[in-house]
Amino acid sequence: MVQDVNPKEEPQGTPHLINEVTMPRERKDEEWRAEFPYPWDEDEVVTRRDTLRFLVAGSGALFLATGALAILGALPKGKNVTAVPIAKVGELAENESKVFNFPDQYTQGILINLPGHGLVAYSDVCTHLSCAVLYQGNGKMFCPCHDGLFDARTGNVLAGPPTRPLPLIQLAQQDGVIYAVKEIER
Ligand code: FES
């Protein structure tokens, strides 16, 4: 005997399929909203608020950044200030150094790009007996005359006969150029 594999009568309890094609669209939307209630109006208000907050915060950040750049870029002015261009921005790789004339051709400073610290500059005249110090490439400056050693982050004495730190040279930046502006005795 051949069994009917597509019985015409469905057993009781069989899920009944909804005919999606013939169901009105409005009713479909209503059912969907009833099953997944969501406060659409509130959502719209929050989104606008968030957008406004974002715009206000973004404008504030831009304003502060512009101010910071202006301060960084400004060269000090005054009778006793000498702004001497000594390097271009990005000229020195990390742990590289450069000797420069400051404030004139008779005295020199040393510019160092310290990893994690940025550019620093000191007078390169050893505070012991005025030999020229050299950057060793390891965060330390060395004076070959009597083995004086200085910390390149601070200019302080680490070893040897010097007792005073190296004078710091203040730097400024404008239009992609680094300037030495002032020597600070300590
Ligand atoms: S001159 Fe530098 S250690 Fe003496």
Minimum-distance ligand 1 atom for the alpha carbon of 129: 1
Q: Which of 117, 94, 98 is nearest to 109 (CA)?
A: 98
Average pLDDT, the chain: 80
The total domain count for the chain is 2
- Are 66 and 89 within one domain? no
pLDDT surpasses 80 at 132: yes
Which residue among 146, 150, 164 has the greatest number of ligand 1 atoms within 8 angstroms of its CB, and so is best to mutate? 146
- Per-residue model confidence (pLDDT) at position 53: 77
Side chain identity, residue 159:
A
Residue written as tokens 């601070």? Answer: 154
Residue with the bigger pLDDT between 182 and 6: it is: 182
Residue with the bigger pLDDT between 25 and 109: it is: 109
Supply 121's token pair.
Answer: 């500059």
Minimum-distance ligand 1 atom for the alpha carbon of 133: 2
User: Do residues 156 and 148 touch, judged by C-beta distance below 8 A?
Assistant: no
Its domain, for residue 65, covers: 25-73
- Are 52 and 137 within one domain? no
- Are 110 and 155 within one domain? yes
- How many A from CA of 149 to the centre of ligand 1? 9
Quickly list H helices, the chain: 25-35, 40-73
User: pTM value?
Assistant: 0.60
Residue with the bigger pLDDT between 76 and 148: it is: 148
* CB burial readout 22-37, b (16+ within 10 A) else e: eeeeeeeeeeeeeeee
Residue 165 CB–ligand 1 contact under 6 Å: no
Distance CA 140, CA 160 (A): 13
pLDDT band at 1 (very low <50, low <70, confident <90, very high): very low
- Per-residue model confidence (pLDDT) at position 27: 72
pLDDT surpasses 70 at 16: no
- Are 88 and 167 within one domain? yes
- Per-residue model confidence (pLDDT) at position 49: 73
